[in-house]
Structure 1
Amino acid sequence: MFWLNIFFIVIIVSPIMYLIKRLLRSLFNIEKTKKKFFSYNHINKWHARIDWGLRLVTVVVNFILIFLISYERISILSISLVLVLLIISDYLVRAFFEWRYTDNPKEAILTISDMVILLVSVILVFGMNLLNLNVS
C-alpha cells in the first residue's frame, strides 16, 4: 500500500508541475531550453561542485534519518523538516546559478515554482500522513 500511495502522489504532482511550468512559460515568455533527460544539467563548474556537495550531504543526512527512524522514535515533523530543508537548498542553488550564469535567467522562475510545488507536496504528504507511516 505504501508504494501505491507514492505512485498516486507522483501521478498527481507531475501533471501539476507540468501545467504550472507551461503556464509560467507563457506568462513570462520563457524560452524552452533543451535539457537531457538523465543528466545533471550543471550550469558551470562551481554549480557542479556545490551540487555534488549537496548530494553528499543529502546522502549522509538520509543515512542518519534511517538510523534515527530505526533505533529512535523520531517524529514525522522532524523528517519532513529535514526533507524540506534539503529540497530548498537544492532548488535554490540551481535557481541562483540559472539566474546568475545562464543566457536565459528567467529559467530560475521555473525552478523556484518546481521547488514550491515539491515543498507543498511534501508538507501535505507528511502533514496529512498520506503514506500511513507509523512513526510518531
Structure 2
Amino acid sequence: MWLEIGLVILGIVALVSTVNFVLRKLLKIEKEKKDFFAVDYANERHRKIDQWVRWGWMLVSTIVIFMVFAEELPIIFYLLLFIAWIATDAFVRAYFQWKHSEQPKQAILTLSEMTVWISAVTLVIYFDIFNFLTGV
C-alpha cells in the first residue's frame, strides 16, 4: 500500500511540475530561483500569517489524527482537513504574491498548484483509491 501511495504522490508532483511548466511558457512567467525546501515570504506580515497557519494546521492535525486512531473515526476527516490546509496555505501565499511581490504572476502558479493538489486528494477520496472508506 505504501508503494501505491508513493506512486500517487509522485504522479501528482509530476503533474504539478508539468502544469507549472506549461503555465510559465504560456503566460511568460519567470522562474524563481529558490532552494527546494525554502519558503519565500513577500514581507514580514506574510511570514507571521504563514506561521500561524502552519501552527494551527499542526495543532488541529494532531487532534484529528488522535480522533481517527483513538475514536476510530474515518480517515476522511483528516483528508478533508488536508484539503482545507492546502487551500488556506495557497490562498495566503497567492494573496501576498499578488499584492506584495515583485512577480505578481506567481500567484497564478500557486493557485494552479493548489487546484491540482485539491483535485488529486478529492479524487482519492471520491474513488476510495486506497480503500480508506471501506476499510478493506
User: TM-score scaled to structure 2, two decimals?
Assistant: 0.91
Report how far residue 81 of structure 1 moved. Answer: 2.1
Q: Is the CA contact (8 Å cut-off) linking 1:75 and 1:135 kept in structure 2?
A: no
- The alpha carbon displacement at 1:71 in A equals 2.0
How many angstroms apart in 2 are the aligned matches of 1:72 and 1:38? Answer: 34
Q: Which residue in 2 is equivalent to 1:80?
A: 79
Deviation of the 1:119 alpha carbon: 0.1
Q: For 1:104, what is the secondary structure of its paired residue?
A: coil
Query: Could you give the per-residue CA deviations for residues 5-36 of structure 1, whole angstroms, max 9, x where no partner exists?
Result: 21111221111111111111111111111111
| Number of residue-to-residue matches in the alignment | 135
CA 1:76 to 1:6, structure 2 compared with 1: closer, same or farther past 3 Å?
A: same
Q: Are 2:61 and 2:81, in contact at CA under 8 Å, matched by a contact in 1?
A: no
C-alpha separation in 1, matches of 2:9 and 2:70: 29
SS at 1:130 equivalent: coil
Look up the SS of the partner of 1:33 in the other structure.
Answer: coil
- Verify: 1:131 aligned to 2:120, yes or no: no
Distance in 1, matches of 2:133 and 2:17, equals 32
Asked if the contact 2:98/2:104 (under 8 Å) is kept, the reply is: yes
The equivalent of 2:49 in structure 1 is: 50
User: Is 1:40–2:39 an aligned residue pair?
Assistant: yes
**Aligned counterpart, 1:109:** 108
Q: 8 Å contact 2:94–2:110 — kept in the other structure? A: yes
Structure 2: gaps spanning 5 or more residues: none
Matches within 5 A, 1:50-69: 50-69=49-68
> Contact conserved, 1:43 with 1:98, CA < 8 A, in 2?
yes
Greater relative contact order structure (CA < 8 Å, 6+ sep):
1
Identity %: 33
Equivalent-residue separation in structure 2 for 1:71 and 1:33 (angstroms): 43
For structure 1, the residue ranges without an aligned partner over 5 or more in a row are none
Is it true that 1:97 corresponds to 2:96 in the alignment?
yes
Q: What RMSD in Å do the two structures reach over aligned CA positions?
A: 1.6
